[in-house]
Amino acid sequence: MSCFLQHPFAFMNTQFPLENPMRKHRALLAAMLLPALAQADEATIKHVHDAPQVRGSIIANLLEQHDNPFVLYPYENNYLLYTYTSDINKEAISSYNWAQNARKDEVKFQLSLAFPLWRGILGDNSVLAASYTQRSWWQLSNKKESSPFRETNYEPQIFLGWATDYSFAGWTLRDVEVGVNHQSNGRSDPTSRSWNRVYTRLMAQNGNFLAEIKPWFRISESASTDDNPGYYKIHGLLPGESGLCDG
């Protein structure tokens, strides 16, 4: 993600009527100040250009004001991939009448968007926001079974985020986020899979390198209603990501 910095500027009107002596003095003063203002302007531009850009910051992006109040912002990665597995889990889709004809190649895609609900809720650098992420596995080449979707996961969440610039040992903490997340495959028993959790997300930057951790805690459910008792074994407790920004 790239950030675009805008440098404010103003125009001076130095065309004054000659008959007003005060305006003559103002014109002369403006002419004398123009070189100094130009130097200051160049210094400001240099400072902005030399400053490291905040790429990959979800919170900084959500804090950007736009003319359209209904703008949706990217949250997690949005992608479209062709995938292949040597061992598809047919037991998980055993309730489908096409389970035995499931193909090993699929199209996997993810759509993830966020929307700011309240900018400045806890300071100018804070935002209350909501996001929605959908991840699907599509049997596109399975024409025999009308190209069904094998699995779709739905993940709405609400969170508080802060854009920061705390620096330590060459790293700058860019995003701090805390929220509540729900994830479900949208099915009923016996193939229903869902869980709720609270989480914290921290993203730091070192030059063009980004690192992120997102520890979470699952909100407990009773044994009779818990349809995902082993999710920790699959997803862990402390996921993380890293990456490079180009440009």
Condensed to tens digits (0 to 9), the pLDDT of residues 222-243 reads 656 656 666 555 555 556 565 5
7, burial (CB in 10 Å: exposed 0-12, middle 13-18, buried 19+): exposed
167 labeled part of a ligand binding site:
no
Query: Where do the domains of the chain lie, and which CATH numbers do they carry?
Result: 1-10+19-51 (no CATH), 58-75+113-135+153-244 (2.40.230.10)
Kindly state the percentage of the chain with pLDDT values over 90: 51
User: What pLDDT band is residue 34 in, cutting at 50, 70 and 90?
Assistant: very low
User: Which residue, 146, 176, 134, 136, is CA-closest to 159?
Assistant: 176
User: Which residue, 2, 6, 26, is CA-closest to 16?
Assistant: 26
124 labeled part of a ligand binding site:
no
187 labeled part of a ligand binding site:
yes
126 labeled part of a ligand binding site:
no
Alpha-carbon span 3 to 59, nearest angstrom: 12
Alpha-carbon span 203 to 217, nearest angstrom: 18
> Which residues are the active-site residues?
182, 184
